[in-house]
Amino acid sequence: MKKHNYSAGPSILPAPVLKEAAKAVANYQNSGLSLLELSHRGPEFTAIMEEANALLRELLELPDGYHTLWLTGGASTQFFMAPMNLLDDAQTAAYTDTGTWANKAIKEAKAFGNVEVVASSKADNYTHIPKKFKMHKNAAYLHFTSNNTIYGTQWHKFPKVDAPLVCDMSSDFLSRPFDVKPFGLIYAGAQKNLGPAGVTSVIVREDMLGKVQRHLPSMLDYRTFIKEDSLYNTPPVFPIYVSLLTMRWIKKNGGLKGIQRRNKAKAALLYNELDQNPLFRGVCAKEDRSLMNPCFVMAEGYTQLEKEFSKLCEENGIVGLKGHRSVGGFRASMYNGMPKSSVQVLVDLMQDFAKRKA
């Protein structure tokens, strides 16, 4: 039975990417060696890194002055690495609180300077993106989480402020085009739209660095990895290679504009069904609904059907649809690699279920 993978992460990857990655693990480019055996300082992996950096710059249209880094530790490490590098003890950074991961970033940043939470939707259980906030006039940066996987909300328009933007883009990175120039730092765990777990993509603007007075350990200093082309120590070879394959796939499918069209079509298909199906309802403000992680529950009067619908999904090869424990219900994570045909399978099941139960 074909599986339709709605896991929030590690998540679905494009089928051609998985096929090519599997070949490389067995025998990389007919070298007689597995990709996993190659020296990270040899010519084969050097070529992989060079192409990965070049493709990332091309897809994002990065101007001069930005560095692309491939690090480890996920976004959770970036929660403290970013303020450690960018926020001095006496400075203030502005943060927005739109969910669990944004809240964790706030907690870590408080160890390195003053943190002002300038906007929060916590009082409304994070069901919307706060639009109005007042910035500290001398803020070192404004940090926000572009897509909230747990609650199913997304910034569809990025904040416009005088300070540089710092963003956790882990769950919608490379899913749409955007103007990089307002950003001083972008970080993203790969395991949603880019590659397997184990590598974190970081994009940092040169003028953001070298301003803090504190000592920075070599492994936590962005400048270390800039100087060494992300090869200060052995990098996560396999996740970087799969990320390269995914970027090739994105480019082949129309770049970020093409991927955005695909993602909008998938989201529209599911949200249209949610809005008309009497058994289900979305949990977020419509204008802030995530294209990546639609969250929904059974409608009032039908909550007793949740387990039955979950079983129906499992019987039809739909996996990973269960909502986060803090929200409940369902979460249909539809990252770049999710084909529209899989979304149609879910929608068809919802329609059939409603015909029988409503």
How does pLDDT run across 133-182, given as a tens digit for each residue? 888 789 999 999 999 999 999 999 999 999 999 999 999 999 999 999 99
Domain limits of the chain? 16-252, 256-357
Alpha-carbon distance of 85 to 209, in angstroms, equals: 7
How does pLDDT run across 59-117, given as a tens digit for each residue? 999 999 999 999 999 999 999 999 999 999 999 999 999 999 999 999 999 999 999 99
**% of residues, the chain, pLDDT over 70:** 100
Alpha-carbon distance of 169 to 145, in angstroms, equals: 6
Burial pattern 70-96, b for ≥16 Cβ within 10 A else e, equals bbebbbbbbbbbbbbbbbbeebbbbbb
In a 10 Å sphere around its CB, with 0-12 CB exposed, 13-18 middle and 19+ buried, how is residue 214 labelled?
A: exposed
- Catalytic site residues? 101, 168, 192
The predicted structure's pLDDT at residue 256: 98
Residue at token pair 């999710």: 338
Q: Which residue has the higher pLDDT, 326 or 302?
A: 302
CATH C-level class of 16-252: alpha beta
How does pLDDT run across 28-56, given as a tens digit for each residue? 999 999 999 999 999 999 999 999 999 99
pLDDT band at 326 (very low <50, low <70, confident <90, very high): confident
Interval 184-206 mean pLDDT: 98
Q: Is the pLDDT of residue 1 over 90?
A: no
Domain 16-252 and domain 256-357, same fold? Reply is: no
Alpha-carbon distance of 77 to 8, in angstroms, equals: 19
Quick count: other Cβ atoms within 10 Å of Cβ 134?
Answer: 10
Lowest mean pLDDT across 74-78, 286-290, 327-331:
327-331
Look over the chain and give the mean of its residue pLDDT values, rounded to a whole number. 97
Q: Is the pLDDT of residue 185 over 90?
A: yes
CA contacts within 13 A on the Cβ side of 259? 27
Q: Which residue has the higher pLDDT, 228 or 133?
A: 228
Which is nearest to 174 in space by CA: 241, 259, 284?
Answer: 259
Locate the DSSP E strands across the chain.
4-5, 66-71, 92-97, 114-120, 142-145, 147-148, 153-154, 165-168, 183-189, 200-205, 280-282, 295-298, 318-319, 330-331
The topology (CATH level 3) of 256-357 is Aspartate Aminotransferase, domain 1 (3.90.1150)
